[in-house]
């Protein structure tokens, strides 16, 4: 296997490779683009026109997706996986990965779409670097663009594997991409309805990629991810890389769709979230229940039928989202 296939090993060691470009026997080119970044190009004449960005480790303690990308990259470097797509493998927050922490100073996935320019510290600097990696990779016009940003969650979930689909005014969510997600093992998709500041929102809104944040189970240390079954996702990613995805019907049977009803924003240190500390994502909420309180008699009461909560976190910084209230979506607005 080519040495550049050991991107995780290089990243954990914090060192550059001796050779920054290598070519497999079959003509697949591997290029080291910077810390935690490796670009794969198919052999001449085999390119199918897809640019695929696969990122993981935006949060350093979310190791199952990192291990999955390492496995795929090993397959490419050894010749087992034969790419027809261009692929950029990205490990998002190397310093946090090395320390096994979610982040060093602040959540990097709240620093995209211009937010890093209003902040300082290692995560702000890295967010700017990640945006530049993505811009450079997606700069060739006329190609299909796809980005999967792979995560695991802080807490357990009633629906273990699900995706978040960013929003851009005037652009419809794609039924074809939702079918692809279903085939990759996603059980639900949250169709977002406002711009965001995550990495996938940046590539969707600014670079016109089809982009998704994938939540793949609960965060655990390296080597302890036996309970996270990513077989269907791994199979689908291999097929996308090799350009041999099997045909699938265009129904969304088996995939639950949700939309955002409201975001719960923490305004001050007086914020209180009236939910159990161990509540799971997608827990159903009773209509009329008091959800949260903050300054100036700000109260969030559940008003929606069928409402559920995801990403509840009262420990976020003031001004950030402390939870999302979601409701079932019919999917009638899909493109």
274 annotated among ligand-binding-site residues: no
- The chain-wide mean pLDDT, for the chain, equals 94
On whether 270 is known to bind a ligand per the annotation, the reply is no
Question: What does the pLDDT average to over 148-153?
Answer: 94
27 Cβ contact list (under 8 Å, min separation 6): 42, 43, 44, 46
Which of 44, 21, 30 has its CA nearest to residue 76? 30
Given a cut of 80, is residue 227 above it in pLDDT? no
Kindly indicate whether the domain formed by 262-328 is annotated with CATH number 1.10.600.10.
Answer: no
**42-46, 170-174, 178-182, 327-331: segment of lowest average pLDDT:** 327-331
Nearest of 151, 276, 159 to residue 219 by alpha carbon: 151
Give the tens place of pLDDT for each residue, 90-135.
Answer: 999 999 999 999 999 999 999 999 899 999 999 999 999 999 999 9
Q: Residue 106 in contact with residue 115, Cβ under 8 Å?
A: no
> Does the annotation list 242 as a binding residue?
no
Q: What is the mean pLDDT of residues 72-80?
A: 96
Tens-digit pLDDT profile for residues 309-331: 999 999 998 988 899 999 999 88
Q: How confident is the model at residue 221 (pLDDT cuts 50, 70, 90)?
A: confident
pLDDT score, position 116: 96
Question: Bridge partners of 89?
Answer: 38, 54
User: Which class for 247: exposed (0-12), middle (13-18), buried (19 or more C-beta within 10 A)?
Assistant: exposed
> How many angstroms separate the CA atoms of 180 and 189, rounded?
12
Every domain of the chain and the residues it spans: 3-242, 262-328
Mean pLDDT of 146-157: 92
Look at residue 312 in the predicted model and tell me its pLDDT.
93
**Distance, CA of 249 to CA of 252 (rounded, Å):** 8
Alpha helices (H) along 31-93: 63-78
pLDDT band at residue 179 using 50, 70 and 90 as cut-offs: very high
Q: How far apart are CA 224 and CA 295, in angstroms?
A: 41
Give the model's pLDDT for residue 250.
82
* Residue 131 a catalytic site member: no
Predicted confidence at residue 1, as pLDDT, reads: 80
* pLDDT at residue number 218: 80
CA nearest to 282, candidates 238, 325, 333, 220 = 325
State yes or no: pLDDT of 222 exceeds 80.
Answer: no
pLDDT bucket at 158, cuts 50 / 70 / 90? very high
Given 70, 215, 242, 280, which residue is catalytic? 215
pLDDT, mean of residues 232-255: 94
Q: What is the pLDDT of residue 161?
A: 95
Indicate whether this model's pTM tops 0.85. Answer: yes
pLDDT at 251 over 90: no
CATH T-level topology, domain 3-242: Aminopeptidase (3.40.630)
Q: Which of 47-51, 215-219, 320-324 has the lowest mean pLDDT?
A: 215-219
pLDDT at 154: 80
Query: Tokens at residue 260, please?
Result: 């955002």
């Amino acid at each position: 296997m080519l040495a550049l296939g050991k991107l995780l090993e290089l990243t954990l060691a914090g060192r550059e490779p001796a050779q920054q470009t290598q070519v497999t026997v079959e003509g697949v080119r591997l290029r080291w683009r910077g810390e935690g970044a490796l670009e794969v190009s198919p052999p001449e004449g085999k390119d199918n026109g897809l640019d695929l960005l696969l990122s993981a480790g935006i949060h350093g303690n979310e190791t199952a997706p990192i291990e999955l990308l390492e496995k795929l990259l090993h397959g490419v470097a050894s010749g087992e996986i034969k790419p027809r797509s261009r692929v950029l493998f990205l490990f998002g927050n190397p310093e946090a990965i090395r320390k096994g922490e979610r982040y060093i100073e602040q959540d990097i996935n709240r620093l995209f779409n211009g937010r890093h320019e209003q902040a300082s510290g290692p995560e702000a600097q890295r967010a700017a670097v990640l945006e530049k990696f993505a811009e450079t990779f997606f700069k060739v016009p006329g190609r299909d663009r796809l980005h999967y940003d792979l995560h695991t969650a802080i807490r357990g979930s009633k629906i273990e594997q699900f995706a978040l689909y960013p929003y851009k005014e005037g652009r419809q969510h794609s039924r074809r991409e939702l079918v692809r997600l279903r085939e990759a093992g996603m059980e639900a998709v949250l169709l977002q309805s406002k711009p965001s500041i995550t990495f996938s929102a940046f590539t969707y809104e600014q670079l016109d990629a089809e982009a998704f944040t994938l939540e793949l189970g609960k965060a655990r240390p390296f080597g302890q991810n036996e309970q996270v079954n990513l077989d269907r996702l791994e199979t689908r990613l291999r097929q996308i890389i090799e350009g041999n995805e099997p045909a699938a019907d265009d129904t969304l049977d088996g995939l639950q769709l949700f939309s955002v009803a409201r975001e719960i924003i923490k305004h001050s240190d007086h914020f209180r979230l009236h939910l159990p500390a161990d509540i799971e994502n997608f827990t159903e909420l009773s209509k009329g229940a008091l959800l949260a309180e903050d300054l100036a008699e700000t109260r969030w009461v559940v008003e929606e039928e069928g409402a559920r909560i995801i990403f509840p976190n009262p420990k976020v910084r003031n001004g950030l989202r402390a939870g999302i209230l979601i409701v079932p979506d019919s999917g009638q607005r899909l493109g």
